[in-house]
Structure 1
Amino acid sequence: MRAARYHGEDDLRVEDVPEPTVAADEVLVDLRAASLCGSDVNYLTGKTDPATDPITLGHEGAGVVEAVGESVESVSVGDRVAIHYIRSCGTCRPCSSGHDNQCRNRESIGHHVDGTFAEYIAVPERALVALPDGIPFGVGSIAGCAVATGYHAVQRAEVSPGDAVVVFGAGGVGLHAVLWADHVGAATVIAVDLDDHQLEAAAEYGADVTLNPERDDVQERILAETDGWAADSAIECSGSAVAMEGAIEAIDGRNGYESGTVVSVGIQTEDIAVGFGDVREGQLRVVGDHLRSELQDIVRLLETEAVDVSPSITHEITLEEIQDGVDLVLEGDERVGRVVIDTTSA
């Protein structure tokens, strides 16, 4: 089969590899769609590294069950599925309490083990979520990370109806944080980004106010929009240390005695400083991966059309064109949302 393999920084090769075999508790998925995430691009630019090299990249994917291991009971050949990229043990204390993202024995698809930029993938049974017929494979693919990470961030921020929420970074994850904040009833959703194309998309997804730091005084506007109280929650999705400092300032009201919740989502590669008064009576959370149960919630909402994330998919390419997709993300000359890869055309 064909797969896109990482061989080091700036070295992505589409090549022939053996089709995976399945263990007793695993499922072979005929992938129909995968999507490109910022973390994949970070590997190729040297910002971060996967756990092993070479490796098939990709952790967002959806497809059809091709074969099942002898102990598999919850899915059958022909079932449509979305992939939850965490390979958890299912038995440790976090797993037993439903927090598979904190599994002591976990591995991540596309980071520790071969991922979704391929025609087929073998994954544990528990790493699959049923994908109803009405949800396209491309949407099922992005639901497994970009959509779910934004959902998890809003959950961890404990956004409530009537809240003021600021999202820093309106990229793939940030747009969905905007969408979910609006969905749960936030009264004021503010999106901050340097790219006006992304800000336009954020407005379409429910942002009431869009700010570009190159021309707007972001902190003064946040205070003006909240009558001086500052934001109840600030969600940082860009990975920029400057944006992270802005998120911390965004929850600090004028009198200094109240503050909200900062949720750090984007991978921070630089140190940041947090003063004691910055989060007085507030909190700072660094979130990891979403939960499998959250992906199930999202699929139900997509099925009932309570939300529509299809506008997030701005480009579709073949597996052989994957380097073009990476270049598209890096160049940023136009609005680039999620780039979905048709893995059947390998």
Structure 2
Amino acid sequence: MKQAILNGPLDMIIKEQEIPPLEPGDCLLRVQSALVCGTDIRIYEGTKKKNVTYPTVMGHEFAGTIAESNGPLPHGLVVGDLVAVYPIMPCGHCSACVRGRENICRNRLAFGYQIPGAFAEYVHVPAAAVRAGNLVKVNGVRPNSAAVIEPLSCAYNGLKLIDAPAAHALLVVGCGPLGLMHIRLASALGVKKIVAVDPSAQRLSAAAKSGAQLTLAPGDTAAREILEFTDGDGVDAMVVAVGRTDAFEPYLEALSPGAKVNLFAGFPTGKDVLAVSANDVHYNEYSLIGSSSCHLSDFEFVASMVTDGTLQVDDLVTTTMEIEEAVAALEAAKAGDDLRVGITARS
């Protein structure tokens, strides 16, 4: 099988590898779609190093068909099914796992990190992941849309943490792929007032089509316009979907008392310090909440929304390249002209 092997920063080769033998309980997926995430770009360039060891095969947003299994599959799965893959394997016994926060398990393994990922023709799925339910059946869904379930689930986890589904008004700053996913999820979940901020007119147009009622470019009047749109109440939930601290601070005055803010994006090391008035947080009872990855239950819920058509995502993957073009796919994703770039193998 072909794999895009990253030997070190900016050193990727396409190599033919033997498919590893399946141990009892293991299965083999034929990759149908793998998406390029911003994290993949940072790994490729060497700016993200945590949990990364070389050589590695990236690709944690993916879907594939079950090609082979060494032993019975979990109930409901058969060879030939299309599955979206929940990429995390938590340890199950650390303090985070015991508290139901397995998505932030410090001992977790993940596809595309410690486990070879989906920038390949096939992915070997260990028995533990098969047993744990990491393979979520999505027959009838387009492969690219199935692969989008992973980042959508991360967005859903962040929205839950700030109680966005019950919010009167939500502000999303940054209308790249993940910002649009937040908007679509919030709209599907019934949030009535959604505001989107981005400097790109093209992205603001996409945000409006995704469900935002007010779209704004950053500027001195943006916070005041948000207050006017919300009849002076402000927003009670906010998502920072771009890794810039200056995308957060200008909108503090648009927050309602008791507002919750999700710092969803990763911030560049050394440029990740927020300037927030402690008294503003104290007297307004603001909550600043991070989010990382998602729970399996989030993944299953979002998969159900995609499979039943509640959530429309077919247009979120705008370019697909073959695995031999993996470096070009990473460069295209970095350029930012696409919502999501997909990598696939020849049929």
TM-score of the aligned structures, taking structure 1 as reference length = 0.89
Question: 2:143 matched to 1:137?
Answer: yes
In the alignment, which of 203, 212, 224 is matched to residue 207 of structure 1?
212
Alpha-carbon offset, residue 211 of structure 1: 1.4
AA aligned to 2:145 is V
Q: How many residues are matched?
A: 336
Alpha-carbon offset, residue 247 of structure 1: 5.2
In the alignment, which of 290, 295, 305 is matched to residue 294 of structure 2?
290
Alpha-carbon offset, residue 140 of structure 1: 0.7
Distance 1:163 1:42, change over 3 A: same
Alpha-carbon offset, residue 325 of structure 1: 1.8
Partners of 1:85 and 1:127 within 8 A in 2: no
Alpha-carbon offset, residue 57 of structure 1: 0.8
- What is the aligned-residue RMSD (CA, Å)? 2.2
State the alpha-carbon separation in 1 of the partners of residues 45 and 168 from structure 2: 37
In the alignment, which of 119, 122, 134 is matched to residue 121 of structure 2?
119
2:224 aligned residue: 220
| Residues 147-201 of structure 1: CA deviation (Å, up to 9, x unaligned) | 1122111111112456111111111211110111112222211111122222111
- Map of 1:207-286 to 2, 5 A cutoff? 207-213=212-218, 217-246=221-250, 248-251=252-255, 253=256, 258-269=257-268, 270-279=272-281, 280-286=284-290
2:102 aligned residue: 100
State the alpha-carbon separation in 1 of the partners of residues 292 and 22 from structure 2: 28
AA aligned to 2:225 is R
Partners of 1:191 and 1:209 within 8 A in 2: yes
Distance 1:96 1:23, change over 3 A: farther
AA aligned to 1:289 is S
What are structure 2's unaligned runs of at least 5 residues?
none
State the alpha-carbon separation in 2 of the partners of residues 19 and 247 from structure 1: 51
State the alpha-carbon separation in 2 of the partners of residues 133 and 174 from structure 1: 27
Report SS of the residue matched to 1:31. strand
Identity of aligned residues (%): 27
Question: 2:182 matched to 1:177?
Answer: yes
State the alpha-carbon separation in 1 of the partners of residues 254 and 10 from structure 2: 36
Partners of 1:32 and 1:344 within 8 A in 2: no
Partners of 2:223 and 2:251 within 8 A in 1: no
State the alpha-carbon separation in 1 of the partners of residues 68 and 183 from structure 2: 38
AA aligned to 2:147 is S
1:41 aligned residue: 41
Larger displacement relative to structure 2 (239-248 or 92-101): 92-101
1:9 aligned residue: 9
AA aligned to 1:57 is M
Distance 1:104 1:44, change over 3 A: closer
| Residues 1-44 of structure 1: CA deviation (Å, up to 9, x unaligned) | 11112222222222222323334343221111111111111222
Report SS of the residue matched to 2:231. coil
AA aligned to 2:314 is S
State the alpha-carbon separation in 2 of the partners of residues 98 and 22 from structure 1: 31
Runs of 4+ with >6 A deviation: none
State the alpha-carbon separation in 2 of the partners of residues 61 and 275 from structure 1: 41
Partners of 1:20 and 1:120 within 8 A in 2: no
Partners of 1:23 and 1:69 within 8 A in 2: yes
